[in-house]
Amino acid sequence: MKQRNRKLIGIPVLVASIIAWCFVATAIYLLLPEGLPGLVLIAFFIVAGMGWLLPAMLTIGWMSKPDKF
């Protein structure tokens, strides 16, 4: 598959995965009990904020592979 086609596929996949991760992180946040200490919430938001990075790195790595001749 050419790099151009991988980018054409990868961009919508990347956007969709970030949107899906937002829904998942929000759903998990809504399941947390009320009255948690601020540091626990900060830790949750750090993990939730970085949770989309691994799928994004894998997708971008796949998109940027050079073409095979």
Domains identified in the chain, total number: 1
Single pTM value for the model: 0.79
41 against 1, higher pLDDT: 41
The mean pLDDT value for 44-68 works out to 93
68 falls within a domain:
no
Inform me whether the pLDDT recorded for 68 exceeds 90: no
Structural domain harbouring 43? 3-63
Q: Which two tokens stand for residue 23?
A: 């829904």
pLDDT at 69: 72
CA-CA-CA-CA torsion sign (39, 42, 47, 50): negative
Secondary structure element (H or E) that encloses residue 27, with its range: helix 3-31
Q: Give residue-wise pLDDT tens across range 2-43.
A: 999 999 999 999 999 999 999 999 999 999 999 999 999 999
pLDDT at 60: 95
Write the CB contacts of 6 (distance below 8 Å, at least 6 apart in sequence): 62, 63, 65
